[in-house]
A = this chain, B = another copy of it.
């Protein structure tokens, strides 16, 4: 059971074409990103650096987008060495969809 605030935060996070695109990419990291040295694409997540490059936005913009997705609990960050890797939070995503089915 989520409160309305967390639901609208998640919906707002997803209502940007840029962030929706990121979420889609993260469903199948191996299909969309090159192999990484320091973290496994699937196990650990995708390095922000690669997401930034693929987006074609500035590094700070990408950083903020990822932070918003993380703030909505849709992805989770993991720091390895100097890099941050983002991975989908499947449980929270499922819970959002359930909550959405109840309310909308």
A15 touching B20, Cβ below 8 Å? no
B97 touching A20, Cβ below 8 Å? no
B-contact 0/1 string along A1-29, CB 8 Å cutoff: 00011011001101111001101100100
- Main SS of the interface on chain A? helix
Q: Does chain B have a CB within 8 A of A64?
A: no
B23 touching A4, Cβ below 8 Å? no
A17 contact set on B, CB distance < 8 A = 4-5, 8
CA distance A97 to B93 in the complex (A): 12
A interface, CB within 8 angstroms of B: 4-5, 7-8, 11-12, 14-17, 20-21, 23-24, 27, 74, 93, 97, 100-101, 103-104
